[in-house]
Amino acid sequence: GNSVTQMEGPVTLSEEAFLTINCTYTATGYPSLFWYVQYPGEGLQLLLKATKADDKGSNKGFEATYRKETTSFHLEKGSVQVSDSAVYFCALRNQGGKLIFGQGTELSVKP
């Protein structure tokens, strides 16, 4: 079946550090891939997406590349800020149109 696995959190970084949050998936066909972010007290928001192999999604300094050969969609940011502290969810959209989420990874950025 379809599933998404993320690295476990919490991830704690200092401001301006490099961020990687790993995400791998299992799916039939070629799903679209997403990263959502949930800031404290708010709902999940779409951060970026990629719809086919080798696509790179980017937004707010975050990037993720759709790697079909490794079935991965790792989230990266070159220099994190305190305001990036949030929970990040990796997700895929399956052939039926449903969103399948990972367990979320909490990021805490210290000044």
Partner 1 sequence: GAVVSQHPSWVICKSGTSVKIECRSLDFQATTMFWYRQFPKQSLMLMATSNEGSKATYEQGVEKDKFLINHASLTLSTLTVTSAHPEDSSFYICSARPGTGGSNEKLFFGSGTQLSVL
Contacts with partner 1 by CB under 8 A lie at 3-4, 8, 32, 34, 36, 38, 41-46, 49, 89, 93, 97-104
Which secondary structure element, helix H or strand E, spans residue 53, and what is its range?
Answer: none
Q: Among residues 67 and 93, whose Cβ is nearest to partner 1? A: 93
Residue 105: closest CA among 79, 78, 73: 73
Identify any residues that bridge with 103 across adjacent strands, giving them in sequence order.
none
> Shortest gap between Cβ of 110 and partner 1 (angstroms)?
23
DSSP state letter for 84? G
> Shortest gap between Cβ of 93 and partner 1 (angstroms)?
6
Q: Among residues 21 and 104, whose Cβ is nearest to partner 1? A: 104
Phi first, then psi, for residue 83 (nearest 5°) are: -70, -10
